[in-house]
Amino acid sequence: MNRIPVDSSNIISIGYEPGLLEVEFKNGVYQYPGVPEELGGALMAADSKGKFFARFILPVYTGEKL
pLDDT tens, N- to C-terminus, the chain (66 residues): 899 999 999 999 999 999 999 999 999 999 999 999 999 999 999 999 999 999 999 999 999 999
Q: What is the pTM of this model?
A: 0.92
**What is the span of the domain harbouring residue 46?**
4-65
Q: What's the number of CA atoms in the CB half-sphere (13 Å) around residue 7?
A: 4
Q: What b/e string do you get for 13-50 counting C-beta neighbours within 10 Å, with b at 16 or more? A: ebbbeeeebbbbbeeebbbbeebeeebbeebeebeebe
The count of domains in the chain is 1
Helical residues (DSSP H) of 1-66, grouped into ranges = 37-45, 49-52
Q: Which of 53, 41, 40 is nearest to 11 (CA)?
A: 53
